């Protein structure tokens, strides 16, 4: 029996690579374009879940499952922005320097019949105290571009992280344990 059709509602090459680790190749890539502005007073967990579910709904198809994810970097109730410019990346690195923070990685799976399920992974990450030169070097690398909280753990930032407690793949953008669980429930054959 062949796997059902799967649409990945993300243009992220990282999410596609992570999905391949589970032996899954999406039938189609259909990046969901939704408003990603947090609602007034919205807490980070609720925001991460809303974004993943919203992306899955936005890419909905009647003949396929749709998988979507969202990653949020938070410090307390504060959601750190996706770094789109150098100033934002610098502000994020200064906030993260020498402190721990929470990475919330939500994954949602929409069934062809409209059923929508999600799972949330929480990972605690601690950066070392960063020197001005380390911050400048990281900014120069460009690894921060379009990344939640201004960093990508799979790049040079990994050498600046003292420890993580949780899911490395979740920090990368798709928590594989939770994703595997959703896909198995939907009948996908996984190794």
Cite the active site residues. Answer: 70
Rounded CA separation 188/164 (Å):
30
Q: Among candidates 6, 7, 18, which has minimal Cα distance to 152?
A: 18
What are the CA-CA distances from residue 89 to residues 32, 143, 144, 179, 185 (Å)?
Answer: 24, 10, 6, 29, 38
Q: Are 92 and 151 in contact (CB under 8 A)?
A: yes
Q: What are the φ/ψ torsions at residue 98 (nearest 5 degrees)?
A: 70, 10
Query: CB-based burial of residue 38 (10 Å sphere; 0-12 exposed, 13-18 middle, 19+ buried)?
Result: middle
Task: Please tell me whether residue 28 adopts helix, strand or coil conformation.
Answer: strand
Beta bridge partners of 118: 108
């Amino acid at each position: 029996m062949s796997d059902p059709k799967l649409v990945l509602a993300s243009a992220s090459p990282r999410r596609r690579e992570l999905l391949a680790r589970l032996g899954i190749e999406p039938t189609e890539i259909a990046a969901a374009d939704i408003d990603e502005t947090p609602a007034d007073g919205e807490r980070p967990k609720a925001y991460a879940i809303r974004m993943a579910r919203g992306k899955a709904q936005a890419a909905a198809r009647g003949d396929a499952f749709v998988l979507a994810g969202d990653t949020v970097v938070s410090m307390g109730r504060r959601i750190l922005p996706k770094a789109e410019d150098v100033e934002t990346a610098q502000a994020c690195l200064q906030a993260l320097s020498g402190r721990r923070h929470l990475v919330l990685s939500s994954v949602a799976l929409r069934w062809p019949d409209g059923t929508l399920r999600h799972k949330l992974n929480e990972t605690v990450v601690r950066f070392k105290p960063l020197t001005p030169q380390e911050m400048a070097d990281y900014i120069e690398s460009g690894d921060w571009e379009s990344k939640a909280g201004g960093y990508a753990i799979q790049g040079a930032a990994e050498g600046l992280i003292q420890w993580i407690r949780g899911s490395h793949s979740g920090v990368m953008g798709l928590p594989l344990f939770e994703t595997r669980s959703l896909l198995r429930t939907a009948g996908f054959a996984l190794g």
